[in-house]
Amino acid sequence: MDCAVALTPQAADMPASPPPLLEVRDFSLRRGQAVVLDGVNLVLHPGETLGLIGESGAGKSTLALALIGLLRAPEVQLQGSLRFRGTELTQLREADYRRLRGNKIGLIFQDATAALNPCFTVGEQIAEPLKRHLGLSKWDRRDRAAALMQSVGIPEPRLRLDAYPHELSGGMQQRVMIAVALACNPELLLADEPTSALDVTIQAQIMELILDRVRELNSSAIFVLHDLALGAQVCDRIAVMYAGQIVEEGPSERVLAAPLHPYTRGLKSCVVELGSRMLEPIPGQVPPLNAMPAGCRFAPRCPKAKAICSEQRPLAEIHDGRQVSCWFID
């Protein structure tokens, strides 16, 4: 894509700004014949938060796992580039990648109950990256782990260090998960649907907690979410994914206020808001990975699709400070 450089408005408009923390260029991920991620472009600056929004199966979680290097060859085939702090991640040796994981890049899983090892105490699991990456001594690790638990709002952390995951509530487990991910003050935090496995009543608390911690540590964060409104509320910028592609990306307020891509519009109208008269579901389903349309992947479900849509892929265009991939941006 020739226009790739121009796709990053900040870089073009503000040459004085610091180099991006993360730069994803033309990134594709194939699993055998299936193209799971297709030509993804993203830029994340230090301190920025980005929401990856889309239906399940859009490739959001896959992108997160690829970023932290848990989906690599030979399991999957990668193309394009992932640059983190100037380092090309796709070419990184496994041993070097391991030094980033849990250290410079943290990952919060969707379901803490499943992501915490049932046979180890939460203290042991929080202390693990402290030992691995910071080389802290046993007692320093305990102190740090307790402090971390305190910082994610777990009461009486000293007592809970030796608790096993099943002895904590779901909300507490997710707090532990957050403490693990933030243990080494990562520069990039990936949060994969961090609240969707929790009760509605504590979802907001946990979201707030993650945002607070990220701001305090001055880290950048990528939130994988399926809720456009929530994403727009918590993130500086939003990238809407559909079937492995980013269809629209830009500042949250603008994307939410005036979505340009028909899919983003569809997503927005799915959001139930007080006072809204009706809910418009998007007709149809995401096509299976082995039967993706040749042109725009959204074309079969798009209300505005014309002949060209099913024949040729729309290239990303800069429009109103956003990148949008659609033939008919109005």
- Contact residues for other proteins, defined by CB under 8 A: 65, 68, 70, 98-103, 106-107, 109, 111, 114-121, 125, 128-129, 132-133, 164, 166-167, 177, 180-181
Q: Which is nearer to other proteins, 134 or 271 (CB)?
A: 134
Q: Cβ closer to other proteins: 57 or 314?
A: 57
Contact 8, 17 (CB under 8 A): no
Nearest approach, Cβ of residue 111 and other proteins (Å): 6
Least distance in angstroms from the C-beta of 272 to other proteins: 30
**What minimum distance in Å lies between the beta carbon of 298 and other proteins?**
30
CB distance 220 to 187 below 8 Å: yes
From the CB of 278, what's the least distance to other proteins, in Å?
38
Least distance to other proteins, CB of residue 118, Å: 6
Find the shortest distance in angstroms from Cβ 307 to other proteins.
Answer: 43
Cα 281 to chain center, whole Å? 24
User: Which residues neighbour 107 within 8 Å (Cβ) at sequence distance 6 or greater?
Assistant: 64, 68, 101, 181, 189, 190, 191, 192
Residue (102 or 314) nearer to other proteins, CB: 102
Cis status, amide bond into 314, omega within 30 of 0: no
Q: Which is nearer to other proteins, 111 or 236 (CB)?
A: 111
Which residue, 114 or 204, is less far from other proteins as judged by CB? 114
Minimum CB–partner distance for residue 129 and other proteins (Å)? 5
As a three-state string, the secondary structure of 58-92 is CCHHHHHHHHCCCCCCCCCEEEEEEEECCEEHHHC
Q: How far is the CB of 19 from other proteins (least distance, A)?
A: 24
Torsion of CA 129, 94, 190, 81, to 10 degrees: 160
Q: Which is nearer to other proteins, 166 or 277 (CB)?
A: 166
Please report where in the chains the tokens 């041993």 appear, as a residue: 95
Q: Is 229 helix (H, G, I), strand (E, B) or coil?
A: helix
Structure tokens of 138? 């046993």
Question: Closer to other proteins at the Cβ: 133 or 268?
Answer: 133
- Closer residue to other proteins, CB minimum distance, 128 or 317: 128
Distance between CA atoms of residues 319 and 323, nearest Å = 6
Half-sphere exposure at residue 48, Cβ-oriented, CA atoms within 13 angstroms: 21
Q: Is the dihedral of CA 62, 37, 55, 286 positive or negative?
A: negative
CA gap 330, 324 in Å, rounded? 11
d(CA 37, CA 52): 13
